[in-house]
A and B are shown apart, each in its own frame.
Chain A
Amino acid sequence: MSEVQKDRSMVIQKDMIAEHYRQLEAAPETGDPVVYTFVPGNLTELIRSFGALPVLPEINALQSGMRGKSRDYILEAERSGHSEDVCTYVKCDIGMLQSGNIGPTGTRLPKPDLLLLSYTGCYTFMKWFELLREQYDCPTVFLQIPYQGDGTLAPEHRQYVVDQLKAEVIPALEKATGRKYDEERVRHYLSLSAQAEEDLVAVLHSAKRKPSPIDAYFGAVYYVGPIFSAFRGTEEGVAYYRELRKEVEERVARGEGPVTPSGTLNDQKYRLVVEGPPNWTSFREFWQMFTDEQAVVVASTYSKVGGVYDFGFRHDPKDPLGTMADYCGGCYTNLNLPSRIDMLASYIKDYAADGFLIHSIKSCNSFSAGQLMMLREVERRTGLPGAFIESDLVDPRYFSAANIRNRLESYLQMIEARRQGRPA
């Protein structure tokens, strides 16, 4: 097998992640407080302003999945009583914990000083932290973000979040870290966030070009990595996105497509929009199936779970708590079905897509419920056929390569047949 091709930015990111896990491992010695929180609705700037290090359990799970470790963790969790139908991120995390809490890069993860649950639409997160609270016997703070049931975050909802930040989250962080809230510091971090967000959006928008210089699903998983995890509001994050944007602009100048694991995809036969998280255990194989068919993803909703920036939202240092409320309320997981449909339909139009594909996750009700209805509605609005593929997040038992390949090929051939019109 030939060597896997990588972007410069991917190498930088790998080092950033490794360094973060090293800091986490050293936390018991350095005394850095540790706050566990989830990607959608993560308040990294706020956490960092207290000198604390964030741990994101879904990132650990997906990293374990990509590194071939999730299967054993899931089996471990199932042995301790978690059923086959439970979210596999949860089981992977619990299994990792029960197996000595060695993170995906091989370093030990520290215990949390605080579990900061900002609830943005996935109620499994609530159960997950209940389980962790039981394990670690540590304080928990619960930030309730109102669901965008009617498609907007109403002013009173926003105020409700701000009030909770003041009355509950900030005091909990002060107590856990022993430091006082420093709003100037938060503003500084938020301004760094906004810079990185600006560069990220430029990268995401570049997919409107033909050929697209990026893959906005498989590639975007890497692009959103730092901003969705521990690096939003950091100097490293800003530097990463500056570099990433430069890299993409260079590709645009050369008229090149994205770097896939098997090389640059310049000749792009199909432009697709994708809904739903990817499969992590066969990530590269799944991506390769698209590359084999010369299909590039030009926009995806998954790359918005940790924040929707491409419709204009930026963190605003002038209104620190308000902007955090807006951020949390606007995460993709907190959007209702009509908003998700609008988003898909506008991506298809704005990015001149040939079709759209839903990758449905067996163990994720939060994402999967309603996806077939979304499919029908997006088909109706855009006149384009949709594809539906099923597997799982980190449970390798649910990735059936032959079936998935068959569906993807069938779908793309269907697009091709429609392009060619009437058969003889």
Chain B
Amino acid sequence: MKCFVGIDLGSTTTKAVVLGERSEILGRGITNSRSNYDLAAQVAREEAFITTRFALLRQQVEQAAGQQVLTRLLRAFRLSQTLTQLTRLSALILKEIERSVPAALRDAAREKVLGIVATIEQEEKARFEDPDPPARSDFFRDAAGSAYMRLAEERGEPSGVSFDRLVGLYDKCIIGVENEPLELGFRHHIGSALELAGNSPAVRAGVEAAVSAELEVVRSVGTGYGRARLPFPKEQIRSEILCHGLGAHRMFPGTRTVLDIGGQDTKAIQVDEHGIVTSFQMNDRCAAGCGRYLGYIADEMNIGLHELGPLAEKSTRSVKINSTCTVFAGAELRERLSLGERREDILDGLHRAIILRAMSLLARSGGIQDQFTFTGGVARNSAATRALRRLVEENYGEKTINISADSIYTGALGAALFAHREAMA
């Protein structure tokens, strides 16, 4: 079948969307952008094709096998991918131990690392069996990293193989895992996923069809800050402003104003009834108030990025924060804590400060028209969306505010729509 691919190479994450002939969404993929943009694009695309093939599989066998079986199969697939990456991580760390750990500590280091990896493997398998596992990051780096840190902290010995040494080994080797292309595609893992999930014959027949389905990429369009890195001719590269406008319009056809807060920029976009951009404003010269700012705050507080929103929502009294300077974020935070402010109240103030900056850009771009769609990584943050709803109401009255659970894919979706549109023209 014919496919149209959009790739959004963002500063934090890289996303891909695959569309079918009728411009229906077939699959989506995401990965962290890492230092290697080319590989990030490759991985995101691969992921999008994995979900595409799962969608084909679903179409074919859902009725016969039931939704639960397919959900379990997908989770088995993810487990199989994770185990491959874990094996690779372990191999790289063992090699690194030979290279950089003093001879006297090598045996102990090997033993500790193998023990940690074995425990992570067990935890991953247990997670697979858990019918309702806790939410976590989609990326191997984050999931494996947080388990590894926890275990390294438990098992590191100040006088022997210390926590710092174990973490140093991880930090060095995780880059290797991320920056070499591993066999993580549908074809490579669906077999072991089938076995893990319990080999149902009805599903197996569908899997074979899904594996052999011909997916012909007719055209690809790239966007995002890394777009110039994509091996596409100039006419297949689009600014993310246009892609976000068109993508948001596709998600919510009534959209007239789009706010996108990404890792390093904030965009306020006005679109017409066809999703064509009529005006836009972006943050100038500095990334204050963008997603990366929240990343720094999370690091400073030693919590995960996805925990910020829920924590801020517990606030009872918002602290007024003026600076959204990313560089000063840590100082601002410590100053407030030293003044005795509660963490959740400070966080609430920080979220409000970010949205205030966005409101100024929105005003500059022509204000907020109905409907208003909020996209980008920050749209996943519940405290940011809460602050936005309040400020929109205060400044513009009641407006329909759209936030899609898939908003992070907006740019990639717009790029895929451009690919489809151009190929069909």
Contacts and interface: CB of A to CB of B under 8 A. Distances in A.
Interface in A364-408: 372, 376, 379, 385-386, 388, 390-391, 398, 400, 402-403, 406-407
A423 B285 contact: no
A385 B279 contact: yes
Contact of A424 (B239, B279, B280, B420): B420
A410 interface: yes
Nearest to B272: A418
Contacts, number: 65
A402 B225 contact: yes
A424 B23 contact: yes
B278 interface: yes
A407 to B, nearest CB: 6
Nearest to A414: B277
A423 B279 contact: no
Contacts of A409: 239
B337 to A, nearest CB: 29
Nearest to B241: A410
A422 B249 CA distance: 12
Interface string B278-291: 11111011000000
SS class, residues of chain A in contact with chain B: helix
Interface in B364-422: 364, 366, 417-418, 420-421
Given A410-B280, A423-B274, A417 B420 contact: no
B412 to A, nearest CB: 16
A135 interface: no
A421 B284 CA distance: 29
A406 B227 CA distance: 10
A386 B270 CA distance: 12
Nearest to B286: A400
B53 interface: no
Contacts of A407: 282
A379 B285 CA distance: 24
A410 B421 contact: no
Contacts of B281: 388
Contacts of A398: 285
B239 A413 contact: yes
Contacts of B276: 414, 417-418, 421-423
Contacts of A406: 225, 239-240, 282
A385 B238 contact: no
Given A398-B285, A413-B239, A422 B278 contact: no
B108 to A, nearest CB: 47
Interface in B230-286: 238-242, 246, 265, 274-282, 284-285
B425 interface: yes
B22 to A, nearest CB: 10
Contacts of A424: 23, 417, 420-421, 424-425
Contact of A403 (B240, B275, B282): B282
A400 B277 CA distance: 23
A33 to B, nearest CB: 43
Interface residues of B, number: 28
A410 B278 CA distance: 11
Contacts of A372: 364
A417 B425 CA distance: 13
Q: Considering residues A372, A403, A421, A423, which has the most beta carbons from chain B within 10 angstroms of its beta carbon? A: A423
A153 to B, nearest CB: 33
Contacts of B280: 410-411, 414
A216 to B, nearest CB: 24
Interface in A201-231: none
A409 B242 CA distance: 10
Q: Considering residues A390, A407, A424, which has the most beta carbons from chain B within 10 angstroms of its beta carbon? A: A424
Interface in B271-327: 274-282, 284-285
Contacts of B417: 423-424
Contacts of B23: 424
A139 to B, nearest CB: 41
B239 A423 contact: no
Interface string B322-353: 00000000000000000000000000000000
A409 B280 CA distance: 12
A413 B364 contact: no
Contacts of B225: 402, 406
Contact of A379 (B241, B279, B284): B279
Nearest to A412: B239
B241 A414 contact: yes
Contacts of A418: 276, 278
B264 to A, nearest CB: 9
A372 B279 CA distance: 12
Contacts of B246: 423
Nearest to B420: A424
A411 B365 CA distance: 13
B282 A417 contact: no
Given A379-B279, A403-B284, A406-B282, A423 B421 contact: yes
A423 B418 contact: yes
Contacts of B279: 379, 385-386
Contacts of B274: 421-423
Contacts of A385: 278-279
Given A410-B239, A423-B421, A390 B285 contact: yes
A379 B278 CA distance: 10
A138 B421 CA distance: 68
A376 B242 contact: no
Contacts of B239: 406, 409-410, 413-414
A395 to B, nearest CB: 11
A386 B279 CA distance: 7
B241 A403 contact: no
A386 to B, nearest CB: 8
A417 B274 CA distance: 10
Interface string A343-380: 00000000000000000001000000000100010010
A400 B282 CA distance: 13
Q: Considering residues A386, A402, A403, A422, which has the most beta carbons from chain B within 10 angstroms of its beta carbon? A: A403
Contacts of A417: 242, 276-277
B284 A390 contact: yes
Given A362-B285, A386-B279, 14 more contacts: A385-B278, A385-B279, A388-B281, A391-B285, A403-B284, A413-B242, A414-B277, A417-B242, A418-B276, A421-B274, A421-B276, A422-B274, A423-B275, A423-B276
Nearest 5 A-B pairs (CB), nearest first? A410-B239, A424-B421, A410-B241, A422-B274, A390-B284
15 contacts: A385-B278, A390-B284, A402-B225, A403-B285, A406-B239, A406-B240, A410-B241, A411-B280, A413-B241, A414-B239, A414-B278, A417-B242, A417-B276, A423-B417, A423-B421
Interface of B: 23, 225, 238-242, 246, 265, 274-282, 284-285, 364, 366, 417-418, 420-421, 424-425
